[in-house]
Structure 1
């Protein structure tokens, strides 16, 4: 085993880091698990130590990094920290948790990245693949650690992985059989600094692919379309805006396929249970990946018809007093929230704002007039979004100090026939641990309205 008896420093004690440490420990590595949290902030550290894992807590690992044979980074750890640069300067390999798990994977991998739609598409591809390979592992940025799943896989199984730009920062040899880049828009610029760096991280998903592999790209996205010239894999385009001579495309309300001699109407959008052109793009991308994996078309159609979307992504919550409530807490950037606004079919009372990841809100706020009746803002970006909306003549705005106050205000502002949409266009950090917690709080509060 390639990691046996190696001294490995695993950085970060969230789900990925703990799973990576346990995996390495089980296969014979000498593992140190590091986190800046203090021991009293860690849940049951003695259990990890009981398994033979050394903990290094509450301090920068600069003093121990040169004693390691390998460093493994959780995705939340920036790759330009001084101790990481010190390790690399000393010739110590530094890899991501995704790279670690991939290096131990015995079967084919489908990897999905992009700015928006990753979780929906990954979930859908996972359901399609499980219809033909029940032991398929659906892992990665979707919230299931790749390292925690890899040991149960055989060569006849399949991995479907949602891949973030963070996870690609220290991916060295990651090379899926099928890759997909769904779309590109500004995101995480506080970490990647420039769009060029951000795009480069997305392109790593297909960087190591070879001629017999497949790369699924969005023809309607100019940045993605240009990626076709950068991959050795066979490109399979999907498009929501124009017909394709080869690929899968949206033609009014029909998704059509032209691929290697096949010419078929795949499915009508009226047969789908998810809303919006962005979701039709997710469906096309998922179908293209399944076709590349040689899944029968009838199997693909059956799963598409049943698919109800994912939690926290334009998720219908309830109707209260004639007002529909939708949870789009996963809308953590403007492009995702644009799609949510465009998907609504009723006047919108919109909750926005949160943590500032960098970037402009203008493309989002210019859509408000004629669609949004009232905008309720929270978090550090509230005033920035208010000023952006004002530039486009939208002034029906309120600021709230707490999330609970914002949801209560939406209920007061909404009238029968309206919808209330939580789609913040911002990360949740500072007010919540993650977007899931934010979405759960919204749903809990809305369901409380029913009981009153």
Structure 2
């Protein structure tokens, strides 16, 4: 890794731990910074903080005292989930302390070139697709960033001959300065995380940070199905490579059921291993990256044909008595569930939906629910989800939890049907996160398979 001297003897405050905060604190300490970590979780319950203290890093836990910023800090490295309205962050801004996120540190120490992927939906799937294709093509690609592997940790181990394939959230991109990927992808831009950003324009501005340092020698891959992307394409120095399922473009596109890159046929759209037109878009973005990095067509086709999805994101789980099971627990909003349903024949789908009640009405989901064979509804949002099922004319039952819902869905299914967990709601009414919710679905599937077979 590179060893910048920027941080030597500089006082740095790391605000918020989790995986990325711990990784950032350790890296900064290694680079000679005088590091203080501040995390809201009490010290006695905070294993990460305890480990940092054992290694000689100062930790302050249990609260966020703004007076801490009266110390002469040169920099704050903020956990991306902490909003800029947080009193600690506001105080840092008042004192004109620069605020970065951990991906900026990753860029500063990385010898490896970076492929950065962001977007409202599909970024995890696309990031994973790209890494698998590159690795199959003989390159060494490392998953990193928002996908669950702290970028600053992965960057330390990657060599100049490797590639960092980095999933990036809008929260992370708000805290970059010099960060520059060689290839960047924006899968799509939809109105999400508006509770954090305030409005769609601010959200787009955060996402657009991805290209701020790119030059004409770098490549920016944009979804030309969207007018927003076409508008933004004129606002960058990067070389634009578009993809589209709706028109022929000078990049990757769908035409007569075939996926192309610049007039070169790559594979049939129906051969992509995960269902849905949105996954065709993800495949097109992947093809663009693969072709730009020299991967041959046969490798691209082979990996995309056998791509099984990402865990909890329209993940194909398997079959029991010719009933297919898909785990889409990561669909925590209406848009994600709409996209999931678009890949199936509703008449053969038993949908498991419901969860945390955020006060949403599900009117906009009703057209997508029409024709479903059945729904199994659970969670705090049950009354609202029931209203949507009734409006769509879909029969439904209610369940006590995911295990119960999975068993009921299987009982309602016949050969050729699909049980789809795609909740359109967050999990926190019953489960710590969508991963735990999805794991319960996977465990129940395994029990059903063992019992029935």
- Tell me, yes or no, if structure 1 residue 2 matches structure 2 residue 6: yes
- Tell me, yes or no, if structure 1 residue 266 matches structure 2 residue 266: yes
Q: Within 1, Cα distance between the matches of 2:358 and 2:113? A: 34
- Tell me, yes or no, if structure 1 residue 18 matches structure 2 residue 19: no
Q: Within 2, Cα distance between the matches of 1:361 and 1:175? A: 39
Q: The residue matched to 1:366 in structure 2 has which SS?
A: helix
Residues 87-143 of structure 1: per-residue CA shift (max 9 Å, x gap): 111121111111221222233211111111111110111122334564432101111
Partner of 1:116: 121
- Tell me, yes or no, if structure 1 residue 55 matches structure 2 residue 92: no
**Offset of residue 295 of structure 1:** 3.6
Q: The residue matched to 1:367 in structure 2 has which SS?
A: helix
Kept in 1, the 8 Å contact 2:104–2:177? The answer is yes
Is 84-93 or 219-228 further displaced after alignment?
219-228
- Tell me, yes or no, if structure 1 residue 373 matches structure 2 residue 373: yes
Residues 221-269 of structure 1: per-residue CA shift (max 9 Å, x gap): 232232212222111111112222x1211113211121xxxx3111123
Kept in 1, the 8 Å contact 2:366–2:392? The answer is no
Q: Within 2, Cα distance between the matches of 1:234 and 1:30? A: 40
Q: The residue matched to 2:350 in structure 1 has which SS?
A: strand
- Tell me, yes or no, if structure 1 residue 221 matches structure 2 residue 226: yes
Kept in 1, the 8 Å contact 2:17–2:48? The answer is no
**Offset of residue 12 of structure 1:** 1.7
Kept in 2, the 8 Å contact 1:133–1:157? The answer is no
Partner of 1:66: 70
Residues 42-99 of structure 1: per-residue CA shift (max 9 Å, x gap): 1264322121111111011412123222111112211221111111111211111112
Residue 311 and residue 385 in structure 1: after superposition, are their counterparts in 2 closer, same or farther (change >3 A)?
same
Stretches of structure 1 that go unaligned for 5 or more consecutive residues are none
Q: The residue matched to 1:123 in structure 2 has which SS?
A: helix
Kept in 1, the 8 Å contact 2:22–2:48? The answer is no
**Offset of residue 181 of structure 1:** 0.9
Partner of 1:292: 292
User: Paired residue for 1:106, among 68, 93, 111?
Assistant: 111
Kept in 2, the 8 Å contact 1:62–1:83? The answer is yes
Partner of 2:352: 351
TM-score, structure 2 normalization: 0.91
- Tell me, yes or no, if structure 1 residue 33 matches structure 2 residue 32: no
Q: Within 2, Cα distance between the matches of 1:111 and 1:34? A: 28
Q: Within 1, Cα distance between the matches of 2:356 and 2:7? A: 39
Partner of 1:257: 261
User: Paired residue for 1:186, among 191, 207, 214?
Assistant: 191
Alignment of 1:132-211 (within 5 A): 134-211=139-216
Q: Within 1, Cα distance between the matches of 2:175 and 2:218? A: 22
Kept in 1, the 8 Å contact 2:389–2:395? The answer is no
Residue 435 and residue 20 in structure 1: after superposition, are their counterparts in 2 closer, same or farther (change >3 A)?
same
Is 403-412 or 12-21 further displaced after alignment?
403-412
Partner of 1:450: 449
Q: Within 2, Cα distance between the matches of 1:385 and 1:71? A: 43
User: Paired residue for 1:88, among 87, 90, 93?
Assistant: 93
Partner of 1:404: 403
**Offset of residue 360 of structure 1:** 5.9
Kept in 2, the 8 Å contact 1:187–1:333? The answer is no
Partner of 1:277: 277
Q: Within 2, Cα distance between the matches of 1:233 and 1:450? A: 50
Is 106-115 or 123-132 further displaced after alignment?
123-132
**Offset of residue 24 of structure 1:** 1.2
Q: Within 2, Cα distance between the matches of 1:55 and 1:97? A: 18
Kept in 2, the 8 Å contact 1:189–1:358? The answer is no
Q: Within 1, Cα distance between the matches of 2:15 and 2:190? A: 29
Residues 390-421 of structure 1: per-residue CA shift (max 9 Å, x gap): 4x433533444433332233233333432211
Partner of 2:327: 327
Residues 347-380 of structure 1: per-residue CA shift (max 9 Å, x gap): 211111223568664333311111x122223333
**Offset of residue 150 of structure 1:** 1.2
Q: Within 1, Cα distance between the matches of 2:282 and 2:306? A: 15
